[in-house]
Amino acid sequence: MSYDTELLLRLYRQMAKIRIFEEKAQELFLAGELPGFVHLYVGEEAIAVGICENLCQNDFITSTHRGHGHCIAKGADAYRMMAELYGKRDGYCKGKGGSMHIADFSIGMLGANGVVGGGYNLAVGAALAGKILQQDHIAVCFFGDGASNRGTFHEAMNMAAAWNLPVLFVCENNQYASTTPYRMTTAVQDIAVRAQGYGMPARIVDGNDVLEVYDTARDLVEWIRAGNGPMLLECKTYRVKGHYVGDPELYRPKAEVDHQFASNDPLKRFAQAVISREWLTERQLTNIMAETAELIDQAVSMARKADYPAACELFTDLYAEREVQDHA
Amino acid sequence: MRDISFSEATLEAMSEEMERDSRVFVMGEDIARQGGIFGQFRGLPQKFGFDRVIDTPISETAIVGAGVGAALAGVRPVVDMHFADFITVAMDEVVNQMAKIQYMFGGQCSMPLVLRAPDGIIRSAAAQHSQSLEAWFMHIPGLKVVVPSNPADAKGLLKAAIRCNDPVLYFEHKALFATKGPVPDGDVVVPIGQAKIVCPGSDVTIVSYSLMMNKVLQAVEKLADLGIMAEAIDLRTISPIDKAAIFTSVAKTKRLIIVHEAIKVGGVGAEIAAMVAEEMLDYLDAPIVRLGAPFVPVPFSPALEKLVKIETVDIVKAVQQICR
């Protein structure tokens, strides 16, 4: 199979953007510059990018607490994301949401979610809205293996299947639910088998191979767009970083992490594949890395200088409409 | 103006709003083919089709969550909770998602979602089908909470809720569905956040809402016979609460009683009493009185159930005590 050069460049550029954004966020958090919590997507870039490259602007996605990668892959602006991490007014949520609540409604990114398993039903609802509005968008719901043990997973899968809604459920099986290993909380080997209980087809892919994710997602998205109902795609991956930045990671050996990252880094694997097949040159990839690093550096320096929201903005956006008078 | 039931009034509101705006749809358990347990959706699917009047699986979490997602994607869902008690099954969706989304996303979206929640005590429905949980939602910034007491307000507030770009919890008392009352013709919308002085008086202010308003009005008549002129205020909305209406009335009457069917501890009455105590203590000629249910789940046995309900006589007695 051969690929369009532009596509290959874009896949790498998007993965690089996520990688560098995340490493920068880690550095800034550890330096004490960023408030709150930061959950990193390093090592899982191939999933968000492989999926979102198959979506249109008016397709919806819902995300998780580990949402930066999904935002970038769907086309969010790095500066506005960084400003949000700082709690600045220029941020996507005007500094009111932070890392776990970044959303960009202009590109159909319906928000990261601080509640594990909080996004499933939002995706189902977004898909349902298409029926009412007679629009043909689809909704993609990203979630982790840990979230698949929430009741919301089962209710959403059932409802989407019963109503034949255009939803792609994407499980990012990164082997850890917060700090607890997959095998200790989940009896089944693959989350994908659960789809069967809801009359839904499912596929499993190597989530660290962006081309495999991309190719599979293209078929699934096409199938869903054609009106065939929801599907589940399980992407096997590994959470390279801790649950959050600063996690002491007492629950797993460092050797396991190092081994996984050395042998299975999606950016490295992609680079090796495209260079050995002579689809792209090493120079092209190096240039992308350099350009992206510069872009993220700019975003950081702008975000540093940006203003915090003013005290008078505390109550804005709580309601769309002020009723007769303010609340007591 | 004609006399119709509370249930028919909400049906009219739904039908008119669905006619007016094709983005409005309704979903819930047993609402389409069965017409709702209280008949409040009867005939709607025949008019608007089963794509806009949707029977759902018994999955409260998914019903509310999908309502939130649908609202984010540009439609205007009305979600029926079957019984208000079952909102607790979807608490994350209500408290962490629908209430917070506009604020935590910096106003990028609105949340035009109505949750209809039949609440209150009816004939031995017992502990899990009788609760009045409205005060919980008054505690959550981002939600609006309405509590109609009669068919006219039921219609007007439901229309306002459907047109509102904020999430609205619409508590409808189960014992009110069959009650009849005058409902104005035409497109009458009752503004959210506006209380109503149902009858003016000078000796005591009685604040109430929902089913208890009927008992309050009966008490007002009895009190008039005893020479006590009570001012009755129907809150109609508890979030945002119409503080001005309460304060103006208390400034005039100097006495305050709050009556609700919900448990007294941590209730709407507690909030109002605190507000008045904080800002109007100097006006008061008597202690503030709260009438609400005792701190116990609603029991099944009719003999016990009647002990947790507020009756007209309780209101009359309480007023007499502070008006001596």
Any chain A CB within 8 A of the CB of B66?
A: yes
Yes or no, beta carbons of B104 and A131 under 8 Å apart: no
Mean residue pLDDT of chain A comes to 96
pLDDT over 90 for what percent of chain A? 97
Residue A229 has pLDDT above 80, yes or no: yes
Considering B129, B139, B173, B260, which one is annotated as catalytic? Answer: B129
pLDDT of residue A90: 98
Residue among B96, B194, B271 whose CB faces A118 most closely:
B96
| Look-up of token digits 């191979």 | A209
Average pLDDT over residues A202-222: 98
Residue B248: list chain A partners with CB under 8 A: none
Yes or no, beta carbons of B104 and A321 under 8 Å apart: no
Average pLDDT over residues A162-177: 97
Q: Do residues A63 and A112 touch, judged by C-beta distance below 8 A? A: yes
Average pLDDT over residues B260-282: 98
Provide the whole-model pTM: 0.96
Yes or no, beta carbons of B106 and A60 under 8 Å apart: no
Any chain B CB within 8 A of the CB of A132?
A: yes
Residue among A110, A133, A325 whose CB faces B243 most closely:
A325
Best A57, A132, A164, A327 residue to mutate vs chain B (most B CBs within 10 Å): A132
Residue among A126, A159, A323 whose CB faces B62 most closely:
A159
Q: Do residues B79 and B26 touch, judged by C-beta distance below 8 A? A: yes
Q: CA of B100: which chain A residue's CA is closest?
A: A318
Average pLDDT over residues A233-238: 98
pLDDT of residue B221: 98
Q: Tell me the CA distances in angstroms from A14 to A46, A157, A282, A286, B294, one per residue in order.
A: 9, 29, 17, 14, 60
Q: Which of residues 80-99 of A touch B (CB under 8 A)?
A: 91-97
pLDDT of residue A324: 54
pLDDT of residue A140: 98
Average pLDDT over residues B4-31: 97
Average pLDDT over residues B271-292: 98
Residue A249 has pLDDT above 80, yes or no: yes
Yes or no, beta carbons of A96 and B104 under 8 Å apart: yes
pLDDT of residue A12: 98
Average pLDDT over residues B118-136: 96
List the single range of A6-15, A317-326, B270-279 with lowest mean pLDDT.
Answer: A317-326
Residue B129 bears catalytic tag? yes
Find, among B183, B159, B168, the residue nearest to B16 by Cα.
Answer: B159
Residue A203 has pLDDT above 80, yes or no: yes
How does pLDDT run across A14-51, given as a tens digit for each residue?
999 999 999 999 999 999 999 999 999 999 999 999 99
Give backbone dihedrals phi and psi of A294, rounded to 5 degrees, phi first.
-65, -45
pLDDT confidence bin for B166, thresholds 50/70/90:
very high
Q: Do residues A144 and A173 touch, judged by C-beta distance below 8 A? A: yes
Rounded distance, CA A179 to CA A276, Å? 37
Q: What is the CA radius of gyration of chain B?
A: 19
How does pLDDT run across A75-128, given as a tens digit for each residue?
999 999 999 999 999 999 999 999 999 999 999 999 999 999 999 999 999 999
Pairing of strands B53-55, B204-208: unpaired
pLDDT of residue B132: 97
The count of other CB atoms within 10 Å of the CB of residue B248 is 15
How does pLDDT run across A261-305, given as a tens digit for each residue?
999 999 999 999 999 999 999 999 999 999 999 999 999 999 999
Average pLDDT over residues B111-123: 97
pLDDT of residue A327: 44
Yes or no, beta carbons of A325 and B110 under 8 Å apart: no
Yes or no, beta carbons of B57 and A121 under 8 Å apart: no
pLDDT confidence bin for B72, thresholds 50/70/90:
very high
Residue among B22, B51, B69 whose CB faces A124 most closely:
B69
Average pLDDT over residues A6-21: 98
Per-residue exposure over A35-67, b if at least 16 CB sit within 10 Å of its own CB, e if not: eebbbbbbbbbbbbbbbbbbbeeebbbbbbbbb
pLDDT of residue B97: 98
Yes or no, beta carbons of B108 and A126 under 8 Å apart: no
Find, among A300, A20, A157, A314, the residue nearest to B107 by Cα.
Answer: A314
Q: How many CB pairs under 8 A join A and B?
A: 180
pLDDT confidence bin for A328, thresholds 50/70/90:
very low
The count of other CB atoms within 10 Å of the CB of residue A7 is 12
Q: CA of A102: which chain B residue's CA is closest?
A: B105
Rounded distance, CA A291 to CA A288, Å? 5
Residue among B69, B103, B191 whose CB faces A121 most closely:
B69
pLDDT of residue A322: 74
Q: CA of A309: which chain B residue's CA is closest?
A: B106
Residue A325: list chain B partners with CB under 8 A: 193, 240, 242-244
Residue A325 has pLDDT above 60, yes or no: no
Q: Do residues A115 and A97 touch, judged by C-beta distance below 8 A? A: no
List the single range of A283-292, A317-326, B97-106, B262-271 with lowest mean pLDDT.
Answer: A317-326
Residue A194 has pLDDT above 80, yes or no: yes
pLDDT of residue A2: 84
H runs (alpha helix) in chain B: 6-20, 44-48, 60-72, 91, 101-104, 134-138, 151-163, 212-225, 243-253, 268-280, 302-308, 312-322
Residue A125: list chain B partners with CB under 8 A: 65-73, 77
Any chain A CB within 8 A of the CB of B239?
A: yes
- Write the DSSP symbol of residue B27: E
Residues near B317 by beta carbon (within 8 Å), at least 6 away in sequence: none
Yes or no, beta carbons of A115 and B75 under 8 Å apart: no
Q: Do residues A216 and A51 touch, judged by C-beta distance below 8 A? A: no
Q: Which amino acid, residue A133?
A: L
The count of other CB atoms within 10 Å of the CB of residue A264 is 18
Residue A132: list chain B partners with CB under 8 A: 22-23, 25, 51-52, 70, 75
